[in-house]
Amino acid sequence: MNARHLGQLVLAMSLVALDVASVRADNSGQDIIDAGNRTIDLIGREIFHPHLSENERRLFSEQRISVRPAADFNAYVDYQNERILIPGQMLAEVQLQIHGQIMVFENPSLAGKYADWLYALAERTARAARRIRDKQAVVDDIPIESFWHFAGVPQPRGLTPRQAVYQSEVFIDLLSFIVGHELGHLALGHGATASAGNRAAQEYAADAYALNLMQRSGRSVLPVISHLYMRFIAMEAVTGEAGHSSSRSHPPSQCRIHRIGHAELAGIMQSPAARANYERTTGMSVETFYQQLREFARACEETSGRGDA
């Protein structure tokens, strides 16, 4: 069974319930945790395996890369114990985002509502964090609202086979990048005690490490831009901080989009087949993608004040 078919099976077996109005943030359901961990196993055994070091393969085989039942939207490395931890909330939101984007593909008039929903998700996360910080709650007990419920549109009836394949492939791409980014921190000798300036440089380096793994494995980073980083931008706008981390150690997401987007664009431009596939699957011309990246470069300069682009 190849990676595509196994990935479809993994996600078909355990998905966030898309016909509910909201999901829990503090656990997000054992189904999403199990699905995430099975997909991580797939990434280690089939997708990244030929391109991993022996130590990286050990991390996969010893199950040191795992999804945990926690409410957060940021994976991180436990350097002391050499573990990579991915919160269940992050994957629950990712799956809800993918389904929301499918709804926008089917009905482009929902695009504005989708952008508003991303900001609502960020505000929900910030509000939950304040409740825990102020000891008003022990865990994140604010539900994550599904896009269809937020947008006030009819409850979806499920995915078509084509949509199910799309959701499966995008989920694998997103989780592959998340895992590759955190592997980069370990492989490149980064540490939790780095200064803010060095930490920002480390984030760029980890992005590049993940991008290299993705490209060598034939995976796309475009979903990373449309899902992860757009969600981070919303969080940065809500919190007023450069970078989605409360420590302000992450570079602005506009800068990160500009860097990995240009690297992806270079690969698309090298092959007429890749260009045609990109335009067919996204409904966007390569020229439009390039113009969007220029906008992100300008936003990076304005946000960072350092010309990180």
Q: What is the pLDDT of residues 253-299, one digit of tens each?
A: 889 988 888 888 888 888 888 888 777 766 678 888 888 888 888 88
pLDDT for the residue 47: 95
Contact 206, 185 (CB under 8 A): yes
Q: Which residues of the chain have pLDDT under 70?
A: 1-29, 71, 196, 241-249, 281-283, 304-309
